[in-house]
């Protein structure tokens, strides 16, 4: 299906790779707009060389749904990062190791390295496309912590946290992280995991962060006690982002000492079971999800909405229910932190925009929960 000479074009093409090449270039433009120049150059290089993996091209071209919503290019990027980390492709490894987010690799060096990886690592990359995306960016909990602080400032009470789409459950350990949020420091100051996103807008109101339990669900949860699962999370960190990599390494080490409570299953079924349990007076229930809804079928998203609305009708001031979502807006033009609180009072159940943020929580534009 292709010639063996690196740099030569494949002997034949299946058909014009309209979807794959177009999506790679679209994602490259997004990365460029976020200042991720290395990733942008990498994706542009993949658009030029993807044909050296014809089976991979076929899977992408025949993908049954939307490539962006399924994170197909994201999966491919992670698979390529895993190949670079594996040591099997020394030239690709050298390019990745030297990368910073601002690095723009020379195509004359990058393209041959990509060609070798695509040609000889195609089976590995196909496996990455068949598995779900597995990011677990713990910096996103800064948005959740800010919301919990503001709610606590309004009325202090301990929280029981339920996370949908937990991946390896690293977010569930947020009380054990050192968080500096808009100049307000909460969590564990002695922690090896430091989270301090750039912050604009006022600081969150300094209420207490009191989490008495935290558990989650994932369709395919990872266990960081298994080296392969920990490595999978590292592969999903964009190359050149050393701060993210170090933060992830610290969060994994903490989770190995304090294993998060995660169940395997569908988010809707698990949430229905949790919401059916009695809620003690004086406790706040908080349902959290970050960059998850895009991967759920529409029927499940609607089911979760209905479950929360129904449970919200039972909420009272001393038994509130809160939903905190950090997700793309409907047009995928911005990532937003939206909060809905049900407590039986005026405006109960009305969602509000608390913040806008970077997809990987590098910065937050805080709007807050003030009435």
263-288 pLDDT, tens digit each: 999 999 999 999 999 999 999 999 99
The backbone torsions φ and ψ at residue 166, rounded to the nearest 5 degrees and listed phi first, read -80, -15
Instruction: Give one DSSP letter per residue of 11-59, joined into a string.
Output: S--SS--HHHHHHHHHHHHHHHHTT-HHHHHHHHHHHHHGGG-HHHHHH
pTM of the model: 0.89
- Quote the tokens at residue 310: 């129904």
102-139 pLDDT, tens digit each: 889 999 999 999 999 999 999 999 999 998 888 889 99
Q: Exposed, middle or buried by CB within 10 Å (0-12, 13-18, 19+), for 149?
A: buried
Q: Which residue has the tokens 């074009």?
A: 9
Q: Which residue has the tokens 């041959």?
A: 112
> Rounded distance, CA 1 to CA 28, Å?
27
Instruction: Give one DSSP letter per residue of 42-106, joined into a string.
Output: HHHHHHHHGGG-HHHHHHHHT-SS-HHHHTHHHHHHHHHHHHHHHTS-HHHHHHHHT--TT----
12-50 pLDDT, tens digit each: 444 445 889 999 999 999 899 888 999 999 999 999 999
Query: In the prediction, which pLDDT does 5 show?
Result: 39
> Rounded distance, CA 362 to CA 200, Å?
12
The backbone torsions φ and ψ at residue 80, rounded to the nearest 5 degrees and listed phi first, read -65, -40
167-214 pLDDT, tens digit each: 999 999 999 999 999 999 999 999 999 999 999 999 999 899 999 999
| Rg, Å, the chain Cα set | 22
């Amino acid at each position: 299906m292709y010639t063996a000479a690196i740099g030569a074009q494949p002997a034949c093409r299946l058909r014009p790779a309209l979807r794959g090449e177009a999506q790679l270039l679209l994602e490259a433009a997004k990365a460029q707009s976020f200042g991720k120049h290395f990733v942008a150059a990498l994706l542009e290089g993949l658009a030029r060389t993807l044909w050296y993996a014809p089976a991979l091209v076929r899977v992408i071209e025949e993908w049954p749904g939307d490539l962006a919503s399924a994170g197909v290019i994201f999966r491919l990027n992670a698979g390529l990062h895993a190949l670079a980390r594996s040591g099997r492709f020394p030239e690709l490894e050298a390019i990745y190791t030297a990368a910073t987010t601002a690095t723009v690799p020379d195509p004359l060096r990058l393209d041959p390295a990509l060609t070798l990886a695509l040609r000889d690592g195609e089976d590995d990359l196909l496996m990455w496309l068949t598995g779900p995306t597995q990011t677990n960016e713990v910096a996103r909990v800064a948005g959740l912590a800010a919301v919990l602080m503001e709610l606590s400032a309004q009325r202090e009470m301990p929280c029981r946290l339920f996370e949908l789409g937990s991946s390896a459950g690293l977010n569930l350990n947020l009380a054990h992280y050192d968080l500096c949020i808009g100049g307000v420091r909460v969590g564990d100051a002695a922690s090896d995991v430091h989270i301090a996103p750039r912050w604009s807008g006022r600081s969150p109101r300094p209420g207490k962060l009191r989490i008495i339990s935290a558990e989650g669900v994932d369709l395919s949860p990872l266990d960081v006690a298994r080296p392969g699962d920990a490595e999978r999370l590292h592969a999903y960190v964009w190359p050149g982002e050393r701060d993210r990599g170090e933060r992830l390494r610290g969060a994994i080490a903490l989770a190995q000492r304090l294993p998060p409570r995660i169940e395997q299953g569908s988010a809707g079924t698990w949430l229905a079971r949790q919401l059916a349990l009695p809620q003690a007076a004086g406790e706040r229930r908080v349902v959290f999800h970050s960059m998850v809804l895009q991967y759920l079928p529409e029927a499940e998203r609607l089911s979760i909405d209905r479950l929360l609305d129904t449970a919200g009708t039972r909420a009272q001031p001393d038994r509130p229910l809160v939903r905190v979502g950090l997700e793309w807006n409907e047009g995928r033009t911005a990532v937003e932190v939206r909060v809905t609180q049900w407590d039986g009072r005026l405006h109960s159940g009305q969602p509000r925009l608390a913040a806008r943020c970077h997809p990987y929580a590098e910065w937050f534009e805080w709007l807050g929960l003030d009435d």
